[in-house]
Amino acid sequence: MIFAGGLVAIIAVAALVFDTGQSLVDRRTQQNAADAAALAGARYLPIVTGQYQGLCSDLSAGQRANANMKHVTAACEVAEAYLAADGPANAAITVKYPPGPETQFSGQTQNIEVIVDSTRPSVFSGILGLTSHHTGALAVARNSSNNALPFSLLSLDPCGTSKITGGGGVVVGGAIHVDSACAPGLMINGNGSGQASSCDSVSGVVDQHGNFDCPEPSPIQVSGDPLVGLATPPEPTILGRVEVDAGSGSVPGNCPVAGSDLATFKANPQTCQFQGGGVNNTKYRLYPGYYPGGIVVNSETVTLYLEPGIYWIGGGGISMTKGTLIAVDSGGTAFATDAGGGGVLIYNSEDSLFSDQCEADPSYNAGCFGGLQFNGNTVSLQLRGIATTLWENMVIFQDRSNTNEIRVNGNGATTILVGTVYAANAEVWINGDGGSSVSAQVIAYNFTINGNGGTLLVDYNPDDLFQLEGVGLVE
């Protein structure tokens, strides 16, 4: 009797070891096959549009040869090849384009769904009444050119503290994520109230006053730099250009003008400085290109119109303590609109001729790395991300080797910042009040967001932000 009772337990353990273990192996293999198949099919979207919802085994030879069914055929062939090599041999493969009702992407034509499932006879658990085991896996892949990251604020610092602070309110439209594993990853210590859609911090969130409404999802994992593979803008082969648009002032002597020689400016980088009596009450028009030595703006009555394009700062950065800086449509004077094709990308780097010297001594000359400082109570800043190129909707891209701070102070003057700010190894500091309109996404080493006086609104509009392109799994 003892042996008979023990035998039941032994069989149960054997069933757990053999049958459950084999089911787990089958499930992992099926998931790998479904993932690979969905990615293979998504490569052909949205070029092909043929709809199909059924088993791969039911595909006719004509359907497999149909050019408008390449997405389905590719998914089936990859899954079939994967399962032929690793099993289970009797697995059924179902492809659905568009996806079916069992997924959250049902009917969405930028996605393709693959289901792999199988049933096999039991080894030991059949003695306990379980004659077969069914396993299955589902994958959905997307091919899209308009995938905006869900974050308004993303900190990449593995061990640091990002902050939301100030006496005013801060309202963040998108998610906040902090990769830091050192507590606290996100510190909220302002007296004002605020909110965000979510706060993800690997090491936790500390809200010292309990006034910030921000749910913490779980589990939270390190995300890494989503733009780590994004190419940097190539160094321009032409200089930028400065012209007087209106007023009695003249172009400062160190600024590039029509006919200036790029090699001469690079060999002796000088900062283009809009300050002093010679620039007062003058409006200038700046054109995209290379600006060796950076730009300084320090006159309350000077206005700079930025023509659409890429402003490649070869050292020195930008320092603006007074004045007005506006990204405009071509030839215009009003803030750039989406439809007008305006917008700029400021790429903040260094003069490549002096990289070695600057590495040894960051103050070697004006061609060394500088920060971006839009910092003054009389600064009026109106920037929109570039409307074209690989970096569409990105407004600031700081060289990944540049650790100098980016500071935007919108307190007391107009601040409109629209687009993605990317500084993988630098802090981004934004200060604003009720006069500030920041429809920006900040991806930085760490960040400090300060709401002072009124409410600083960090809006989230995916159409205004940098879009990821390519194929990826979404389920």
Q: What is the pLDDT of residues 303-341, one digit of tens each?
A: 999 999 999 999 999 999 999 999 999 999 999 987 667
Question: For 385-436, what is each residue's pLDDT tens digit?
Answer: 999 899 999 999 999 999 999 999 876 678 889 999 999 999 999 987 666 7
Strand 467-473 versus strand 132-148 pairing type: antiparallel
The CA distance from 432 to 77, in Å, is 55
Asked if 137 and 31 count as a contact pair (C-beta separation under 8 A), the reply is: yes
Q: What is the mean pLDDT of residues 38-42?
A: 91
Residue 1's pLDDT band (cuts 50, 70, 90) = confident
Question: pLDDT at position 186, please?
Answer: 92
Ranked by mean pLDDT, the top range of 7-16, 79-88, 184-193, 252-261 is: 252-261
The CA distance from 208 to 89, in Å, is 58
Question: pLDDT at position 283, please?
Answer: 97
Task: Give the DSSP H/E element, type plus range, for residue 170.
Answer: strand 169-178
Radius of gyration of the chain (CA): 29
Question: pLDDT at position 125, please?
Answer: 57
Q: Output the average pLDDT for the chain.
A: 88
pTM tops 0.85, yes or no: no
pLDDT at residue 112 greater than cutoff 80: yes
Q: Other CB atoms closer than 10 Å to residue 128's CB: what's the count?
A: 13
Question: pLDDT at position 338, please?
Answer: 73
Q: What is the mean pLDDT of residues 456-475?
A: 84
Question: pLDDT at position 2, please?
Answer: 80
The CA distance from 390 to 233, in Å, is 9
Percentage, residues of the chain above pLDDT 70: 90
Please tell me whether residue 285 adopts helix, strand or coil conformation: strand
All residues at 6 or more sequence positions from 374 whose CB lies less than 8 Å from its CB, including other chains: 318, 320, 325, 381, 407, 408, 409, 415
CA angle 442, 229, 197 (to 5 degrees): 30
User: Which pair of structure tokens corresponds to residue 227?
Assistant: 């733009």
Question: pLDDT at position 6, please?
Answer: 65
pLDDT at residue 19 greater than cutoff 70: no
Of the listed ranges 225-229, 410-414, 446-450, the least confidently predicted one is 410-414
Strand segments (E) across 179-317: 186-188, 194-201, 205-207, 212-213, 241-246, 272-275, 283-287, 289-292, 295-306, 309-314
User: With b meaning 16 or more CB within 10 Å and e meaning fewer, what string describes 170-180?
Assistant: bbbbbbbbbbb
